[in-house]
Structure 1
Amino acid sequence: MAKNSYDIIVVGSGPAGESAAINAAKHGKRVALISDRDKVGGSCTHLGTIPSKALRHYVKQMMQFRSNPLLREFATLHKPSFQEIMCHADRVIDEQVYLRSNYYEKNDVEVIQGQATFLDANTIKLGTKGPTLKADYFIVATGSRPYRPESVDFTHPRLFDSDKILSLDHSPKKVTVIGAGVIGCEYASIFGGMGCKVELINPAESLLSFLDWEISDALSYHLRDIGVRSRHNEAYESIEYNDKYVVTHLASGKKIKSDIILWANGRAGNSDGLGLEELGIKINARGQVQVNERYQTAQKNIYAAGDIIGWPSLASAAYDQGRAACNAIVDPDEFVAIDRVASGIYTIPEISTLGKTEQELTADQVPYEVGKAFFNNTARGQITGEQVGMLKLIFHFETLEILGIHCFGDQASEIVHIGQAIMEQHGKANTMKYFLNTTFNYPTMAEAYRIAALDGLNRVF
């Protein structure tokens, strides 16, 4: 095989690109991975999941110090600035880059830095002066970036999006967050946890309306408790820019003055400049690539995975999609579509959910019942002082099959996976009785499943 010729070229080094490239290498393919950064990891590592979750972790620790009578005195000695907290987050980014670079080296994946553009279905060029590379197959995993409408001046020093906010060089006292999706709610809770006053502009009637109603209500309550004011049914109209402040004008006529604005109104796929449309590959208005059920584009040898294809736009799902897209090429019998994903929402407290909500089951006229466990009623929760949190299990009234898992509180994104493992089973293995017939370590947060099962089954029998 020629020097610049490969079996598979993966474009993008985020979770989808990483899993696709390493999976291809493990199947004996000659693989090149194209990274548009000089360090691997993609936006997930450098601008999205890793820095924002590390930032959230340190803010949550600050909040725990302030609320703990034993530690409150130390918490008041020094209040860390936004920049100081971000320095700790940068350490995690460096560790992730080192770890992932080792993955590629150990699996003989050639990493090439450059901006890829397709010349034809089997050829890409890196930049204007870079090499031309050929491959039998391509997997596009270039991810996404914050959506930036032309009407908003993102060059203004008081206007930020979720990428630019990581370079904030001061600690604001009042923040307006435009957009109350997952990213907007996460950053609203981070700034609220730091002691900022936060205005959260939400065009819908409630926060994260795709969540089970009780979880959405709990999120609204606890955001309000840390100084976040949610303005529902409100739409952004324009922004008034000033050197020392900014004013958000709403369609209702209201005006909101704040130190900074965080624009969190969706994301766009990183498809521009790739030359995909010239190959007949369809791209929507948000830059997302259209694929079939096997992650294949209209060009049969070009696949796409991760945020570049849209839903569910989660790092966890992207990793699995990348592996699945690769399997569609190298091992079709092992292909598994990613169609049921546990979502993790890293607000403070965090949220994780899988399966149906009460609203959906009611609309579908499915007979169901609910079992709940409140964290402050578990021994582990009482030991750690967790006063906030709930595990909610929704199950079929007759068969006892688990239909939905909804968790709100500390470690929610960890706890949900216990239930996920049972939901993926078939027949009698996927029923609420599993949690009664299984011994959980005591005291643990996992014990919440037994408590919720007892609560739910007591309503049925």
Structure 2
Amino acid sequence: MMQFDLVVVGSGPAGRRGAIQAAKLGRKVLVIEQGKRVGGVSVHTGTIPSKTLRETALNLTGWRERGFYGRAYRVKQEISADDLRRRLLITLDHEVEVLEHQFARNRVQHMRGKAHFIDPETLEIVKDDGESVQVKATSVLLAVGTKPFRPDYIPFDNKTILDSDELLEIEHLPRSMVVIGAGVIGIEYATIFSALDAQVTVIDPKSTMLDFIDKEIVEDFTYQLRDRNMKLILGTKADKVEKDADGRCRITLDNGRILHSEMVLFAAGRMGATDTLNLEAAGLAADSRGRLSVNPETFQTSVPNIYAAGDVVGFPSLASTSMEQGRIAARVAVGAIAKEPPKYFPYGIYAVPEISTCGLTEEEVKQRGIAYECGIARFRETSRGHIMGLDSGLLKMIFSLKTRRLLGVHIVGEGATELVHIGQAVLNLKGTVEYFVENTFNYPTLAEAYKIAGLDAWNRMGDLSQPV
């Protein structure tokens, strides 16, 4: 039986980063992946595919140029599912090639097959041909990720009634789509297909959406969606989904309203992919959504030699945070020192338009009783915004009145997920409003919005360098 210092189950962001970190520390590492190729959900059905689909849609439709040339402007008049898939396959091949090279360069062994526990230190891997092999592990890192939640009352058919994984394999672009679920995944795909000129309706039983995002940003985002004729039906549940005789989908809501659509995307949550691990043999148990509980500082489970990281441990379920969780878990697992990451990390939603946020929302600041002031900049106020033809986009910063420190930065609009890192750095370095007022930003850039928002807040707060 083969013996390893660390066995990693799953090769997504948490698994790959954890495995490479342990290998760089001189440990013998094995990665087990049940998919046909390494990369996990992030590479094959999640992060990379959805972001590639978004970029392809924006490029082929000419979305970014419509501010100048009008809504009828197109780069390619007839866009097909094959057009989207072509770029996706090229991107995925590149990602897999890079990952395989990283494993080879760091001498990380990897094996294809489904793993399950025999005991806390022994795993059995069953390969596609039925052959099985057992391995011993001093420590185990579970980075199995998640899979779409598929309730029994939804008649999935892999053609017109789909989950978010199946959506990547569609053969034609629908003219209309109903998205059930107004979470991050549902909203991202809903806005992407809206950019592809599908008539999109989003349904969610909650009366609000994206509650962890600053309310003012969500309001601006919602206005932009409704302005391009997306329908948001919130506070209403989809009771039944059926196929009509003509092949179209019929969606019956709990208020009796009936919707018709060419395609239905069910994106109301995901489940931890732990059901095949035989967790009981290792002394572990998952919650009702298949997630594992861990120490948030070490990512150690209730079984001392078993760790878990990534989406399988729940919020925030981001590829970026999963990588850091995997790295920290691997260091702790092999007995190395692991520093706690900085307090504030960015959250990105790759919708159309993008949303990105870091730090406290205005609602959280109010709940904590902190005296504060906000600074706002709209992208149309910047010269770069005019050059790009932007008529929307908003950057908001929140500052403490007492310390003048930045408390949160929230952005909706073009390039939000890139721009947020300036605010993230200032947050973690405990910078104040004076940083934005006194520093020079490249001109013309969208980053100049930080200067505008900083001046907006500074003018409201008053200049402390002047005598009263």
Q: Is the 8 A contact 2:65 2:389 kept in 1?
A: no
Q: Which residue in 2 is equivalent to 1:34?
A: 32
2:418 and 2:380 mapped to 1: Cα distance?
17
1:359 and 1:65 mapped to 2: Cα distance?
32
Q: Does 2:239 correspond to 1:242?
A: no
Q: Which residue in 1 is equivalent to 2:452?
A: 451
Paired letter, 2:365: L
Q: Which residue in 1 is equivalent to 2:42?
A: 44
Q: Secondary structure at 1:459's aligned position in 2?
A: helix
Q: Which residue in 2 is equivalent to 1:94?
A: 93
Q: Does 2:324 correspond to 1:323?
A: no
Q: Which residue in 2 is equivalent to 1:408?
A: 412
Q: Which residue in 2 is equivalent to 1:64?
A: 63
Q: Which residue in 2 is equivalent to 1:379?
A: 383
CA 1:76–1:9 in structure 2 vs 1: closer, same or farther (change >3 Å)?
closer
Instruction: Give the deviation of 1:179 after TM superposition.
Output: 0.5
Identity %: 39
1:174 and 1:401 mapped to 2: Cα distance?
46
1:364 and 1:33 mapped to 2: Cα distance?
44
Q: Which residue in 2 is equivalent to 1:229?
A: 231
Q: Name which of 360, 363, 372 aligns with 1:356.
A: 360
2:227 and 2:71 mapped to 1: Cα distance?
19
Instruction: Give the deviation of 1:276 after TM superposition.
Output: 1.3
2:235 and 2:132 mapped to 1: Cα distance?
50
CA 1:331–1:433 in structure 2 vs 1: closer, same or farther (change >3 Å)?
farther
Q: Secondary structure at 2:265's aligned position in 1?
A: strand
Deviations 1:212-255 (A, max 9, x none): 11111111111122331001111121112235111111111111
CA 1:403–1:49 in structure 2 vs 1: closer, same or farther (change >3 Å)?
same
Q: Which residue in 2 is equivalent to 1:282?
A: 285
CA 1:77–1:166 in structure 2 vs 1: closer, same or farther (change >3 Å)?
closer
Unaligned runs of 5+ in 2: 463-468
Unaligned runs of 5+ in 1: none
Q: Does 2:263 correspond to 1:265?
A: no
Q: Which residue in 1 is equivalent to 2:466?
A: none
Q: Secondary structure at 1:287's aligned position in 2?
A: coil
Paired letter, 1:260: M
Q: Secondary structure at 2:231's aligned position in 1?
A: strand
Paired letter, 2:145: G
Instruction: Give the deviation of 1:72 after TM superposition.
Output: 8.2
CA 1:279–1:203 in structure 2 vs 1: closer, same or farther (change >3 Å)?
same
2:213 and 2:318 mapped to 1: Cα distance?
16
Paired letter, 1:161: D
Q: Secondary structure at 2:373's aligned position in 1?
A: strand
TM-score (norm 2): 0.94
Paired letter, 1:269: G
Q: Secondary structure at 1:99's aligned position in 2?
A: helix
Deviations 1:323-376 (A, max 9, x none): 011121235432325764311001111000111111222222211100011111
Q: Could you tell which deviates more after superposition, 432-441 or 19-28?
A: 432-441
1:136 and 1:424 mapped to 2: Cα distance?
36
1:253 and 1:338 mapped to 2: Cα distance?
49
Paired letter, 1:444: T
Q: Secondary structure at 1:247's aligned position in 2?
A: strand
Q: Which residue in 2 is equivalent to 1:120?
A: 119
Paired letter, 2:410: H
Q: Name which of 332, 337, 340 aligns with 1:336.
A: 340
Q: Which residue in 2 is equivalent to 1:14?
A: 12
Deviations 1:183-222 (A, max 9, x none): 1111110111111111100222233122111111111111
CA 1:77–1:306 in structure 2 vs 1: closer, same or farther (change >3 Å)?
closer
Paired letter, 1:124: L
Aligned alpha-carbon RMSD (Å): 1.8
CA 1:74–1:247 in structure 2 vs 1: closer, same or farther (change >3 Å)?
closer
2:167 and 2:343 mapped to 1: Cα distance?
32
Moved over 6 A (4+): 71-74
Q: Is the 8 A contact 2:30 2:110 kept in 1?
A: yes
Q: Is the 8 A contact 2:155 2:242 kept in 1?
A: no
1:116 and 1:340 mapped to 2: Cα distance?
35
CA 1:386–1:71 in structure 2 vs 1: closer, same or farther (change >3 Å)?
closer
Q: Secondary structure at 1:208's aligned position in 2?
A: coil
Q: Could you tell which deviates more after superposition, 359-368 or 149-158?
A: 149-158
Q: Which residue in 1 is equivalent to 2:374?
A: 370
2:131 and 2:356 mapped to 1: Cα distance?
46
Paired letter, 1:123: T
CA 1:180–1:86 in structure 2 vs 1: closer, same or farther (change >3 Å)?
same
Q: Name which of 210, 213, 222 aligns with 2:215.
A: 213
Q: Secondary structure at 2:460's aligned position in 1?
A: coil
Instruction: Give the deviation of 1:397 after TM superposition.
Output: 1.3
Q: Secondary structure at 1:334's aligned position in 2?
A: coil
Instruction: Give the deviation of 1:156 after TM superposition.
Output: 5.7
Q: Could you tell which deviates more after superposition, 71-80 or 5-14?
A: 71-80
Q: Secondary structure at 2:260's aligned position in 1?
A: strand
Q: Which residue in 1 is equivalent to 2:437?
A: 436
Instruction: Give the deviation of 1:65 after TM superposition.
Output: 6.4
